[in-house]
């Protein structure tokens, strides 16, 4: 079955576009039971697609919320070994593992309405305190390769990258260029962005604006009670934006 979320298109003898539009993960039991195998991208499928590329220039277009760390790192490695000119473009979102894949490009582009999101690896675990401690230690080690990639590509200090990942940082087009995540500043958007991604993009920008407004007001007002009121205003702003209040 052809995976519609992982396709390549040879545009001419010099250029190929490869699209990653889905979750970054391996096939699981549900996929095997129900035959739902079209909404994911795994490293093995990507390797097969990459082997069909016979042009010197490759553009990888990404619209993905991310997924498995191991699959994302494997795809990053495969792209890093590409011998030609590699360009990566965000067509909407490149979150989590997808943002790591994005960093493989020699030229990296985040259009005006594109977003990156970086964060620490996470998992679920059951057990005693020793199990929990080991899980925490393991997650730090699992996160480190992604940290190393961001540091190497952006030139930012490791502690700054880690702070952003701790906050689950959303990164706009301008921020991506300023911080070194992207290499090319784009003024006009030509991304093939989905309606859902457009909505979420506007949501993130709106909330960023609200955070700036609250921060500025807090700097102007030193009274504790007034700051408490501002915290409540912030909560109300988020709630009303999500239409959770009647």
Catalytic residue numbers read 96, 119
Range of the domain at 220: 195-246
Q: What is the pLDDT of residue 180?
A: 97
Same domain, 119 and 151: yes
* C-alpha–C-alpha distance, residues 64 and 206, integer Å: 21
Same domain, 205 and 187: no
Residue 172 lies in a domain: yes
The C-alpha angle 45, 46, 50, rounded to 5 degrees, equals: 120
What mean pLDDT do residues 114-119 have?
95
* Residues 129-164 pLDDT 10s: 888 889 888 889 999 999 999 999 999 999 999 999
For residue 196, give both structure tokens: 């859902």
Same domain, 109 and 203: no
The total domain count for the chain is: 2
Same domain, 201 and 176: no
Same domain, 80 and 167: yes
**Residue 189 pLDDT grade (very low, low, confident, very high; cuts 50, 70, 90):** very low
Same domain, 89 and 162: yes
Same domain, 237 and 154: no
Same domain, 70 and 97: yes
Same domain, 133 and 205: no
Residue 40 lies in a domain: yes
What mean pLDDT do residues 152-177 have?
95
**Residue 200 pLDDT grade (very low, low, confident, very high; cuts 50, 70, 90):** low
Same domain, 175 and 91: yes
Residue 10 lies in a domain: yes
* Residues 25-63 pLDDT 10s: 766 544 444 455 556 688 888 898 898 899 999 999 999
- For the beta carbon of residue 176, count every other beta carbon within 10 angstroms: 27
Same domain, 73 and 187: yes
Same domain, 230 and 153: no
Residue 108 lies in a domain: yes
Residue ending a domain, choose from 175, 193, 211 = 193
For residue 205, give both structure tokens: 């920008």
Residue ending a domain, choose from 193, 210, 231 = 193
DSSP string, the chain: ---TTEEEEE-SSSEEEEEE-SEE----HHHHHH---SSEE-HHHHHHHHHT--SSEEEEEEEE--B-HHHHHHHHHHHHT--SEEEEEEEEEEETHHHHHHTT-SEEE--TT-EEEE--------S-HHHHHHHHHHHHHHHHHHHHHHHHHH---HHHHHHHHHTTEEE-HHHHHHHTS-SB--SS------HHHHHHHHHHHHHHHHHHHHHHHHHH---HHHHHHHHHHHHHHHHHHTT---
State if pTM tops 0.85: no
* C-alpha–C-alpha distance, residues 24 and 98, integer Å: 7
Residue 153 lies in a domain: yes
Residue 109 lies in a domain: yes
Residue 1 lies in a domain: no
* C-alpha–C-alpha distance, residues 38 and 14, integer Å: 28
Residue ending a domain, choose from 150, 170, 193 = 193
Residue 11 lies in a domain: yes
- CATH number, domain of 97, equals 3.90.226.10
CB 38 within 8 A of CB 1: yes
């Amino acid at each position: 079955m052809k995976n519609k979320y992982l396709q390549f298109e040879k545009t001419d003898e010099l250029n190929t576009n490869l699209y990653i539009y889905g979750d970054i993960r391996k096939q699981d039991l549900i996929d095997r039971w129900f035959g739902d195998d079209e909404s994911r991208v795994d490293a093995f499928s990507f390797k097969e697609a990459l082997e069909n590329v016979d042009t010197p220039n490759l553009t990888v277009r990404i619209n993905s919320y991310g997924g498995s760390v191991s699959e994302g790192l494997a795809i990053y490695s495969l792209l890093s070994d590409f011998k030609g000119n590699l360009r990566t473009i965000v067509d909407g979102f490149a979150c989590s593992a997808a943002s790591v894949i994005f960093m493989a490009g020699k030229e990296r582009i985040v259009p005006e309405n594109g977003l990156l999101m970086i964060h620490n690896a996470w998992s679920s675990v059951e057990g005693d305190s020793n199990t929990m401690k080991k899980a925490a230690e393991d997650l730090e080690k699992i996160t480190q390769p992604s940290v190393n990639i961001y540091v190497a590509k952006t030139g930012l200090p490791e502690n700054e990258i880690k702070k952003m990942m701790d906050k689950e940082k959303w990164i706009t087009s301008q921020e991506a260029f300023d911080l070194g995540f992207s290499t090319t500043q784009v003024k006009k958007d030509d991304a093939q962005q989905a309606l859902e991604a457009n909505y979420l993009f506007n949501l993130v920008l709106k909330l960023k604006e609200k955070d700036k407004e609250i921060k500025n007001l807090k700097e102007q007002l030193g009274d504790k009670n007034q700051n408490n009121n501002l915290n409540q205003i912030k909560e109300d702003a988020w709630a009303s934006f999500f239409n959770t209040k009647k």
